[in-house]
Structure 1
C-alpha cells in the first residue's frame, strides 16, 4: 500500500514539473506578444479531450496582428502559430472560423471573441475556477449531500 502511495505521489511530482515547463513556454510567448501590444486570450479546458488556448495580438481597433495556439491533452503541447486570422476583427470571430474536428479549439476562438466584446463593453471578465477550487466545490457538494440525506 505504501509503495502504491509513493508511485502515485511520484507521478504527481513528475506531472507538476513537466507542466511547469509547458506553462513557462506559454508565459514566455504571452509576454513576448504582450510587449508588442494588446493580447486577447480564449480558452476551453478539455477534460478527457484536448484542451485549447488561443492568443490574438490585436491593435487598438481590434484587428488581429498575430495569432498563436496551444492545444493538447499532455504536457508535451507547445505554443504554435495559428495562421489565417491576421487582418480580421476579433469581435467577429466564431466557431465557424476553425476547421471542424477541433471542438475545443473552435470554442477557444469563440471565447476570445466573447472576452474581447466584454472588455470593450466594460463588463467584468469572469475567471474560470482553478483546479483547487473545482476540487473544493466537489468536496463541499459531497458534504452538503450527506448532510441533507
Structure 2
C-alpha cells in the first residue's frame, strides 16, 4: 500500500521549510509535486531538483498522471505537494487515499481573501477544502511542524 506521510498545499512547492522541517518531521524520502504547469516546465523542474536534499527522490507529475503514479509506489514514504487544494480533491476523486491535507502556504494574490494568519483563499479553493472534508479527509492549517495544527473547521471559510 502506498505510504503518504504528508499531503501539503503550498503555493511555493519546494522551499527551505519543506526541505528541512517537514522531511525531518515526516521521515519522507520521496517528494511528489502534482502541478500541471510545473510538470511542463523543464527549467522549473531543474530548479526544484536542485532544492531537494541528497537522498530524497523527486517526481513532478501533472494532475492526470499523478494518481496512477502515486498509487503504484509501494516502497517510498511520499510527501505530496500541490499549489492548491483543488489538486488534492482531484487526487481523492481518483482514488488516492490521503492521510489528511495540510494547508501550509497560500499567499495573497488577486481574488484571494485572508482566512487565517498568512493563509489566503479564493472561492474555488474554499469550496475544494470543504469538499475534501466532505470526503472524510481531515484538513488542517499548519505552516511549520512545530506549530500546533488548527482544524480547518475553526477557520472562517465564508
Q: Taking structure 2 as the reference length, what is the TM-score of the superposition?
A: 0.29
Higher helix share: 1
Higher strand share: 2
Structure scoring higher RCO (CA < 8 A, sep ≥ 6) equals 2
